[in-house]
Each structure stands twice: as C-alpha cells, then as structure tokens.
Amino acid sequence: MPKQLKREHGEVLTRSWVVDLILDLVGYTPDKDLASLVAVEPSFGRGAFLIPMAKRLVQSAQQHGRSSSEMAGALVGVDLQKSNVSNVETLVHHELSWSGYEQKTAARLSRAWTREADYILAPPDNVDLVVGNPPYVRLEEIPPGLLKEYQSCCSTMSGRTDLYVGFIEQALRSLNYGGCLAYICADRWMRNQYGKPLRSMVASDFAVDLVLTMHDVDAFEEQVSAYPAITIISRGSQGPAIVADTTRSFDSLAAQDFKRWASDASVPHADGRFRAAQLPHWFEGSGFWPTGDPDLLRLLDHLNDNFAPLESTATGTRVGIGVATGSDRVFVTQDPDLVEADRLLPLAVRRDLLTGQIEWNGQYLVNPWNADGSLVDLNSSPRMQAFFEMHREALSSRHVGKKNPERWFRTIDKVDHELVFREKLLFPDMASTSSPVLDHGTLYPHHNLYWVTSDEWDMRVLGGLLLSRVTDAYIGAYCVRMRGGTMRFQAQYLRQIRVPHPEEISPSVAKGLAEAFDARDTDRATDLAIGVYGIEEHRSVLERSL
C-alpha cells in the first residue's frame, strides 16, 4: 500500500452546469477582479472545477488589465494523483494558449495553478475561496497510518466519518475573514453524530449562507447515492441563510432561475423544480441541522425560537432507548420458567405496538441487574447461573464480555428498574409516521424502541401532541431517511422536537389531545397541535411534509 491514498473510487465528476451554478453563487465571475483573490480547488480530479475557474480568471484578467504575474497566485489547484495533475496542467496550458498567452507564460501559469499534494495534510492558507467536490472515501478505506495523520490535522474527523469532513475543516481553517467555502458534497454531516464536531466548528466562527439540497438531481456524470447538497459557508458572523430543496426535474435552466431568485431572495419561491426561502438566521449550535422543504425549515426555526425542547428538566421529561443485550438469543425468552421469576422482566418489543395499543406477546428479559444498579451475584440465583453458564462462550465472546471478562454475563446496557413502573410513551425505531404508544408501567422497552417519560405531563396529552404531524415534520427534517422514506424515531431526533409547557395548554384542548391520542386520530391531534403552537398559517406545510 503506497503512503499516498489512491482516491479514484472517491472521485465523482460534477456536471458543468452545476459547476457554473456554484461559481456564480459565490461571485467567481469575470466581471469581478478575480486576480485580487486567492481561490483554491482542493481535489481537482479531471478538472471539472479548475478548468472553468481558470477560464473565468483569464477573462477577468483581460477585462481588468491584470498581468500574468498578478494572476499566478490567484488560483491554486491541488490533487493527490500525479496523472490528474499532469492531465489537467496540459488542459489549462491549452486554455491559456487559446486565450492568446505565449507558450512560456502559459506553461508557467499552468504549473502554478496545479499542485500534486495531499490537501488534508498541506492546505494553502490565507485564501478567499475554496470551491469543489471533495472525494467520498470512508475512513475504513484509508490506510491506518495515513488516517492517523489526517486525524492529527483534522479534529472533526472522528467516529465513522468520511474524508470529505476533513476537506471541509481544512477549507474553513484556511479562509480569510469574509472568505467562503462552496462545496457540492454529501450533507449527512449536518444530521448525524459524526458531524457534531464540524457543526460545532461552523457555529463558533462561521456563517452558513446557503444550503441547496440536491438528493434527486442528476448532478454528476455518473449515478451515485451521495445525498449531495451545495453548501456555502463563510468566515464571519451569521446572517440570513438561504435554504432550498430540489426535485428530480432541477436542471441547468432551473439552476439559472434559482440563481436569479437567490440574488434577491426576499420572497419565497416554489415550483415543480425547487422550493427556496431565506431564513433570518441559521440553526444554532452543534445539534443536528434540519433539511428539506424551506417553508418547513422556516416553521421549525419559528418553533425552535418559541418553544422548549421535549426533553427538559423543567418538566422532568426524558427521552431514551430500550435495553441492548448484545445477544437477544440468550437474554430474550418467552419461557416464564427459564430462570428465577424475580430475574425476569416483561419486555416490550416492536410487534407489541403494531395495533397502537400495548398487546404484549409474552417476551421477557433475563435480567442480570439488581435494582441498585449492581450485577446480580450468580450464586444467589442458581437457575440463572446455570442458564448463563450454558451460554458462557457466546456471552464472553461479545465485545462487552471481552471488555469486562469478570462481568461476562452483563447486558450492554444497565437496566433502570424504575422505568418498568413508569408511564411511558414508546416509539418504534422505524416508521413512516409518528405512532407513540402508551405503556402504563408494566413493561421494559427493548432496544428497538425509544421511550419518553415525564414528571409533569399527562402522558395522554403529550401523546396527542407527539401523534400530530408536527412530530413527523421534526423527525423528517432532522433524521437521515431510510430508502422508501421510512423515518428513524431515534432519541437524538426526538430530542429536537419542541413543545409548550403543559400549563400553557387549556383544559379543553388537553382533553381533546388525550382523546385524539386514545382514538389514534392523527388529523384531530394535528388540528389541536396547530392551535397550541399558533401556526395555523403553516397547516399546508405540515400536510406537504408527509
């Protein structure tokens, strides 16, 4: 394995009209004095961005009377692969020659604008613009030694991240004040755990100026499942932010219309190709950033500014996930006589919730935990001890068993015994719409269920709110959807939901929400929730978000 990372599989060519749109959006146009800027393309591949940038720089220099020496430092193209550097240098040389430059000058500029280097390890600094399509490479595909170097340079490359995250971090760090990054790349870093350090970095010193989601657009020269978005981030204070979502019919003509709209953006736009709006500010902090219908994002921005998160110390409301065992084959049983009765917990699983009511199918958790949080002394439960010994090899071979060899019979998660006896709303981990189910305090949730408890809420009233399409709007905007549009009702997304304080809901409305919850009447719950939130004018947005 060579020291340098081969990235052919991570290189995805961007269509020319998408390149033109990005360059236009950031103002890299010949009417500007581009020789006064320093623009960087950090992984130019076959020149999809670099060659159009070179053309624009040449045209600008001719219009503004800039010399070749003044142009030399205005454009920096970087690529790791020698073949790419050689090929693109030749193409740039030809472009300069066609534009009337002498061979010697063309050769000097083409060499100055193309560098063989690893951008992550040696990014140019003090730049005004970084633009391009960074490579898509999972960390497990990077040689361990090189990965260690990358992670020492890029603090945001943690967890199961992708290489493009490092390209974003290094680009942001290189910017002068007022400079900007403009990438077309996957937007998943905005809505998953590995993107948290990068979101925190952006929130502290940068401004999100534009996010144009293009998941279904034919933006590349080959078919890829990249979930791309055009994202423009600048170094400076956060101001208004443009958000837009596209359909499959977004093309070069639609791109021109979007560019014209974005030059003003005072009035939201909607047609069959794209929907777009301007938010008064971007979403704050390192939490998940939503995506989707711009009108919906404006609504969520309003709710975030005016209501508290679902999980709150003020109401004692908590959100969590059920128990993960590491070996359901051993720990989950339907045999009530398998071990001592006091070592069995009635277990709620996904299929118990299918009707919208708890219909327990008789599953138990073989529970190795005491109420005080300690592990059971197996000698005190001989039947459970014998049962675990029968499965000792399987339990000890789990990661948690290897990590804690003396506690080889533990489940991955501790059991919170108080949770069994609390009223709780249960959510299946995957569903097309919100469908909370109330457990009155009889079952312990399995790891494919998420739960909500509260000290202050009437759980039927809260259940009515969470049955409404406001919940679908939140989860759909924040979660990474599965194929077919299925949503993930995970704790990290449920925590994004905003709710009023229960005392702000009138008795009559609370009664209606509880009744709608009991009847599984989503339409009625949504009507009442719209009134509670004061968002009647956004009703159509909620309906469209389904």
Chain-centre distance of CA 521, in angstroms? 31
Contacts of 387 (CB under 8 A, 6+ apart): 338, 339, 366
The amino acid at 442: T
Is the whole-model pTM more than 0.75? yes
The token pair that represents 202 in the structure block: 């952006």
Q: What are phi and psi of 500, to 5 degrees?
A: -75, 170
Report helix, strand or coil for 425.
Answer: strand
Instruction: Give the span between the Cα atoms of 449 and 427, in whole angstroms.
Output: 6
- The values of phi and psi at residue 41, to 5°, are -115, 110
Give the largest Cα separation in the chain, rounded. 91
Report the C-alpha gap between 353 and 438 in whole angstroms: 9
Residue 16 to residues 21, 51, 227, Cα–Cα distance (Å) = 9, 10, 19
Asked whether 319 and 451 are in contact (CB, 8 A), the reply is yes
Q: What is the crossing angle of helices 16-25 and 50-64, to 10°?
A: 50
Question: Strands 127-132, 175-186: parallel, antiparallel or unpaired by DSSP?
Answer: parallel
pLDDT at 159: 80
Selection from 210, 61, 41, 188 nearest residue 113 by Cα: 41
The pLDDT tens digits along the chain (546 residues) read: 333 444 444 456 789 999 999 999 999 999 999 999 999 999 999 999 999 999 999 999 999 999 999 999 999 999 999 999 999 999 999 999 999 999 999 999 999 999 999 999 999 999 999 999 998 888 788 898 998 999 999 999 988 888 999 999 999 999 999 999 999 999 989 988 889 999 999 999 999 999 999 988 888 766 555 689 999 999 999 999 999 999 999 999 999 999 999 999 999 999 999 999 999 989 888 888 988 889 999 999 999 999 999 999 999 999 999 999 999 999 999 999 999 999 999 999 999 999 999 999 999 999 999 999 999 999 999 999 999 999 999 999 999 999 989 999 999 999 999 999 999 999 999 999 999 999 999 999 999 999 999 999 999 999 999 999 999 999 998 887 776 678 999 999 999 999 999 999 999 999 999 999 999 999 999 999 999 999 999 888 887 765
At 268, list the tokens: 């939201």
pLDDT at residue 25 in the model:
98
- d(CA 363, CA 361) in angstroms, rounded, equals 6
- Backbone phi, then psi, for 45, in 5-degree steps? 55, -115
Cβ-count burial of 458 within 10 angstroms (0-12 exposed, 13-18 middle, 19+ buried)? middle
Domains of the chain: 8-292 (3.40.50.150), 318-544 (no CATH)
| H-state helical runs in 99-224 | 103-112, 144-153, 163-174, 196-205
Q: What is the pLDDT, as a whole number, of residue 4?
A: 42
**Which of these, 493, 505, 507, 545, lies nearest to 529 by C-alpha position?**
505
Strand-pair category, 228-235 with 206-213 = antiparallel
